[in-house]
Structure 1
Amino acid sequence: MAGFRNPLTDDFYKTRIQKREEDIRGPYFRDQTAIIHCMAFRRMKKKTQVFFSPQNDHVCTRIEHSLHVSTIASVICKALGLDVEMAQAIALGHDIGHAPFGHAGEKKLNELASSSGGFFHEVQSLRVLDRIENDGKGLNLTYAVRDGIVSHCGEEDDRSLAPCETPKDLDTIQKKGTIPTTYEGCAVRFADKIAYLGRDIEDAITANIVKIEDVPETIRDALGGKNGEIIDTLVNDLVHWSLRNQLIGFSDQKFDLITKLKRFNYDKIYKHEVLAKYIEYVERIIETLFEYLVHHVGEYQMAFELYRGDHGKLINRIGDYIERRQNAYPLGQFSPLRVVIDYIAGMTDDYALKAFEEITLPKPIEFVR
């Protein structure tokens, strides 16, 4: 256990953007409550994990995935003697900046934002929590939680991790792939991977995209055939290997199986023709919204009376969004592209669909008698 000592000081990890006196909750539990009470967290219940705008209430959404990551990370940290409350806060906020329509939405936003450095949900999650939430004032989270969120990328192919030993200027991070400065952040990164591997298969079975028999027998025999079995196998492997090696990671055998399972999911689920059709539709929705909003925001800038006077309800709403978050969009640094990327990234699947229909479908003729 002695090996799991974070490299920076406890006081540094608890540093906030603005000083505040801590209360009876403690710094990391306070961060949890700030995250779960914010509007962006609530919207995750209507954001896709893999399957777009699902009609089946049992298919995983972004908020459910975040709760799964939180519980898995909690078990890992409890077993390793780490700070459970810190890990829970990181996990609850890790996907809060994710685009609508899952990774298809993120990929399209990244393409549209390429001229300004691209779009990465890890970076956007930190931006939402630091700059956009609370009417542009942010949630004033601790360094440890902010660092874990921006560094969480569960899609990275890490077999093991140790914390980065030098402090980072989190505001300068523009891409995914940075290493957390805490073991708790490392644990969340692995919990993210564990959470989606089996659940994506479970949802694909529900959607009749694959059958459990399609998963190679060697993987089923070693990891389990159900999501709960896969989680249990991988968590136990990670805990036992980590205790022996004083790093957070998987054994070679289980990591090899994880790699094979990820390949199965990619080939048989994420590239399935059913999802491919939806991806084309999603790309059209996001590109249409982007072009429409960039045009109007570029024209109206910070002239809020123009937004209010526009006949388009979507333009009325984005004008109100900007006006209430002027701290996030200083006049001298105002970027229509940045505003629109933030606004679209914050949409739920349902809201994006509604907004798309609003600006593309013909309006009914109103006969006045």
Structure 2
Amino acid sequence: MAAAYASDPSASRGRLVQEEESAFRSCYQRDRDRIIHSSAFRRLKHKTQVFVEHEGDYYRTRLTHSIEVAQVARTISGALGLNEELTEAVALAHDLGHTPFGHTGEDALDALMAPFGGFDHNAQAVRIVTALERHYAGFDGLNLTWDTLEGLAKHNGPVTAPNDGNSSSGSLPWALAEYDRIHDLELGTHASAEAQVAALSDDIAYNNHDLHDGLRAGLFDEEEIAALPIVADCYREVDALYPGLDSYRRRHEALRRVFGIMVADVIEESRAVLAAGGFGSADQIRGAGRSVIRFSDGLRRDLDEIRRFLFNRMYRAPAVMAKRAEVTTVVEDLFPFFLREPGYLPGRWQAEVTRLAGDETGLARLVSDYISGMTDRFALDCHARWLGGPESCGPGC
């Protein structure tokens, strides 16, 4: 049974371009389906999570990460009586705006775009689903509901204040400001409970799978993570139940318990917060002035320690840092190349290049759109072909 504060598809604030509703799917289901069928969603399979996509078949990519986030989010959403379809739509789309090479690519592109308004992957996700996906006859983008767009824009909280250093522009990301001018997403409030669930599910997924991937990469060993809070108790439980278990099964059994502890904690803590708040509608959640989906204080402290471990031993590991430097150079080379030689953009982009003649900011944002949409392998291929000798490949190829 849906909770009083759940988002109701029959009460959705609708779409920017009005459409006839489906006879078989709710508006949130339709949003989810459009996201899954989008070009940007397919490209996530070749975009980095932590490791560059081609480094190993077993490491998470942005696509597998997004699917894992959606699975966790549906579980939590269902347990709290929220709308699972809206939660899933936000979860599946939350990383659509990521550049090639993950946060490394984003940092590089943000620095390059500093004179032109910066770059922010959350704002870029909104830009993709409202402008850059161009498959439908009646509109640009996917024409998602206001509710889903709101969730994409502010699942991590209100975004009207300077965005905490995530963009070198130090203000509202331009891509988000541009859309908000024509379709008010009420950026000063928190998002729905469903979007907040998607945000916490992102934390749960990456905290768990980065331990898996770091072990597989040999950046640390089981004895090291078995000393971490939460993880230590899970290893002890597995060892008591299955003495002598082989290493691969042992780590899986332990880390799936870590996963379960995080999910259970969010459900228990959020239930208490929601009950105490007496919320009677989704709009009351938005106006609460605080997040209502959260970890308990104790678990959050434990997760902070796990995050510090991952930062030092994985995200800043020498091998990872060497690759970060390499791929940063790729982005830093491609951006000025396309600014100087916009004829090398694909043919379907050339009408926009012509329209933007003399508009340096507009062209920079067009180049940013193109580079941010690249997969890891495509960015590496472009760099090798064009900057290894542009004469080997003609404009627009």
**TM-score under structure 1 length normalisation:** 0.81
Structure 1 42/257 Cα, relative in aligned 2: closer, same or farther at 3 Å? same
- 1:248 Cα deviation from its structure 2 partner: 1.4
* Number of aligned residues: 329
SS at match of 1:49: coil
Structure 1 203/188 Cα, relative in aligned 2: closer, same or farther at 3 Å? same
Which residue pairs with 2:295 in the alignment?
250
Q: For 1:131, give the aligned amino acid.
A: A
Which residue pairs with 2:321 in the alignment?
276
Which residue pairs with 1:27 in the alignment?
27
Contact 1:12 1:143 in 2 (8 A): no
1:341 paired to 2:340: no
Q: For 1:241, give the aligned amino acid.
A: E
Equivalent-residue separation in structure 1 for 2:2 and 2:304 (angstroms): 30
Equivalent-residue separation in structure 1 for 2:266 and 2:230 (angstroms): 17
Q: How does 1:1-16 map to 2 (within 5 A)?
A: 5=5, 13-16=12-15
Q: How does 1:212-223 map to 2 (within 5 A)?
A: 212-215=222-225, 216-222=227-233
Q: For 1:57, give the aligned amino acid.
A: D
Deviations 1:79-114 (A, max 9, x none): 000000000111111101100001101111111111
Q: How does 1:92-131 map to 2 (within 5 A)?
A: 92-131=92-131
- 1:179 Cα deviation from its structure 2 partner: 5.7
SS at match of 2:346: helix
* From 228, 232, 236, the counterpart of 2:260: 232
1:361 paired to 2:388: yes
Which residue pairs with 1:160 in the alignment?
none
Structure 1 65/2 Cα, relative in aligned 2: closer, same or farther at 3 Å? closer
Identity of aligned residues (%): 31
Q: How does 1:90-239 map to 2 (within 5 A)?
A: 90-134=90-134, 137-153=140-156, 171-172=179-180, 180-215=190-225, 216-222=227-233, 226-239=254-267
Q: For 1:340, give the aligned amino acid.
A: V
Runs of at least 5 residues in structure 1 that lack an aligned partner in the other structure = 157-167, 298-306, 308-314
Equivalent-residue separation in structure 1 for 2:317 and 2:373 (angstroms): 27
Equivalent-residue separation in structure 2 for 1:38 and 1:295 (angstroms): 30
Q: For 2:179, give the aligned amino acid.
A: D
Structure 1 287/4 Cα, relative in aligned 2: closer, same or farther at 3 Å? farther
Equivalent-residue separation in structure 1 for 2:69 and 2:188 (angstroms): 19
Which residue pairs with 2:42 in the alignment?
42
Runs of at least 5 residues in structure 2 that lack an aligned partner in the other structure = 160-175, 182-186, 236-250, 275-291, 393-397
Q: For 1:115, give the aligned amino acid.
A: P
SS at match of 1:288: helix
- 1:219 Cα deviation from its structure 2 partner: 3.5
Equivalent-residue separation in structure 2 for 1:45 and 1:20 (angstroms): 30
Contact 1:14 1:27 in 2 (8 A): no
SS at match of 2:70: helix
- 1:289 Cα deviation from its structure 2 partner: 0.5
- 1:151 Cα deviation from its structure 2 partner: 1.8
More displaced 10-residue stretch of structure 1: 265-274 or 46-55: 46-55
SS at match of 1:248: coil
Q: For 1:190, give the aligned amino acid.
A: L
Equivalent-residue separation in structure 2 for 1:12 and 1:114 (angstroms): 40
SS at match of 1:42: helix
1:77 paired to 2:77: yes
- 1:211 Cα deviation from its structure 2 partner: 1.2
Q: For 1:352, give the aligned amino acid.
A: A
- 1:13 Cα deviation from its structure 2 partner: 3.4
Equivalent-residue separation in structure 2 for 1:290 and 1:92 (angstroms): 28
Contact 1:109 1:119 in 2 (8 A): yes
Deviations 1:239-267 (A, max 9, x none): 01111221311111111111111111111
- 1:322 Cα deviation from its structure 2 partner: 4.6
Q: For 1:232, give the aligned amino acid.
A: G
Structure 1 127/12 Cα, relative in aligned 2: closer, same or farther at 3 Å? farther
SS at match of 1:242: helix
- 1:11 Cα deviation from its structure 2 partner: 6.0
Which residue pairs with 1:287 in the alignment?
332
